[in-house]
Chains A and B, each alone.
Chain A
Amino acid sequence: NAGVMQNPRHLVRRRGQEARLRCSPMKGHSHVYWYRQLPEEGLKFMVYLQKENIIDESGMPKERFSAEFPKEGPSILRIQQVVRGDSAAYFCASSPAGTQTSGITSTDTQYFGPGTRLTVL
């Protein structure tokens, strides 16, 4: 069973360009979380998605950042008009279940991908 896949592993962009980060969850997982790790900082939650739904985007910057998880294909984290402060490692994690429809949070483990290291010149 392949793990969580992220691509590209390294991405270099110039200021003002767009960055697209892709995450393919583990087989059978329908819940995706994105986290950002800034230099010398821990990981910070950005967004939680289920197929075709954004469940929690409380950690996303208000502007330039967006995320999607379509019915088919990987989850995409998109950063428009990148700035140097966006340079970081971006990790996605998948789990079989997050918040159940009943509102009871699953204790399922989140499995992390290898990350995409974004450098903005």
Chain B
Amino acid sequence: AQSVTQLGSHVSVSEGALVLLRCNYSSSVPPYLFWYVQYPNQGLQLLLKYTSAATLVKGINGFEAEFKKSETSFHLTKPSAHMSDAAEYFCAVSDHGSSNTGKLIFGQGTTLQVKP
């Protein structure tokens, strides 16, 4: 069975500083991994996804994530935070194991605060 753990429910950075949001996964099959962003009272928007191609994945708004199999991690980074990055971020793994339905299994989410 797949699962996702996001370390740190709240992360605070200064504008212009590095953003690092941590995600570790557990999967019995090669995982498909996703990062979504949710702005207040809105739905989820896909930032990027890993589907067994290049291990460094570039997404929208300057975000990227690196798949590290040895560490079972898929951390999200952005070199320089912008005020508009303040939101909640969800890491997810796609269930394509035993049930094979593609449903997403989400982490608990990390709220990113950006200070001026």
> Interface of A with B (CB < 8 Å)?
4, 6, 31, 33, 35, 41-45, 48, 55-56, 58-59, 91, 93, 95, 98-99, 103, 105-115, 117
Are the CB atoms of A99 and B107 closer together than 8 Å? no
B43 adjacent to A42 (CB under 8 Å): no
Contact check, A103 vs B100: say whether CB atoms are below 8 A apart.
yes
| Number of A-B residue pairs at CB separation under 8 A | 72
B49 interface hit (Cβ, 8 Å)? yes
**Cross-chain contact of B101 among A44, A55, A91, A115 (Cβ < 8 A):** A55
Residues of A with C-beta under 8 A to B36: 112
Which B residues between 21 and 80 are near A, CB-CB below 8 angstroms?
32, 34, 36, 41-46, 49, 51
Report how far A103 CA is from B43 CA in the complex, Å. 29
**Docked CA distance A115–B42 (Å):** 7
Set of chain A residues within 8 Å of B90, measured between Cβ atoms = 42-43
Establish whether residues A48 and B106, one from each chain, have CB atoms under 8 Å apart when the complex forms: no
A108: chain B residues within 8 A (beta carbon)? 102
* 20 extra A-B contacts, CB within 8 A, seeds A107-B51, A111-B46: A4-B43, A6-B43, A33-B103, A35-B104, A35-B106, A42-B107, A43-B44, A48-B102, A56-B99, A91-B43, A95-B102, A99-B100, A99-B101, A103-B100, A105-B94, A105-B100, A105-B102, A107-B49, A107-B94, A112-B43
